[in-house]
Amino acid sequence: MTDNFRKLIEGAQALETRLRQDYEDSLDHVALPGTRVWVLHDGRRGWMHGESGTVVSTDEDWAWVNFPSGIKRFMLKRLSRAPDGMDCWTAALKSALKAAPF
């Protein structure tokens, strides 16, 4: 194996590792079943703002969250994986973009 070919392979492996790590880091903000989320303030009302629960199920725009008072459905834009952090809808979008093969 030539030295140039070895450098090319090492560079490709380093890029793949970095892209995989970026993608996995972006998942830290996504509302996945079994993860804990907090309710964000939506600017109109403070209903349940700051309360936390566990995600039961999600789809593209909604999550069903188990709170002590029962399971409620929330838009992903109203949920965050950290108190007052990035909303889960934006995080899912960023995660999808990082996973894209381009």
CB 26 within 8 A of CB 95: yes
CB 41 within 8 A of CB 52: no
Give the whole-angstrom CA distance, residue 91 versus residue 102.
19
pLDDT band at 20 (very low <50, low <70, confident <90, very high): confident
Question: Over the stretch 27-85, which tens digit does the pLDDT of each residue have?
Answer: 667 888 999 999 998 877 767 889 999 999 998 899 999 999 999 999 999 999 989 88
DSSP string, 13-44: HHHHHHHHHHHHHHGGGS--TT-EEEEPP-SS
Give the whole-angstrom CA distance, residue 75 versus residue 53.
14
User: Among candidates 80, 27, 28, which has minimal Cα distance to 53?
Assistant: 80
Say whether pTM exceeds 0.75.
no
Residue, of 43 and 10, whose pLDDT is higher: 10
Give the whole-angstrom CA distance, residue 7 versus residue 22.
22
User: What domains sit in the chain, N to C, each tagged with a CATH number?
Assistant: 3-99 (2.30.30.30)
pLDDT band at 93 (very low <50, low <70, confident <90, very high): confident
What is the reported pLDDT for 34? 92
pLDDT band at 24 (very low <50, low <70, confident <90, very high): low
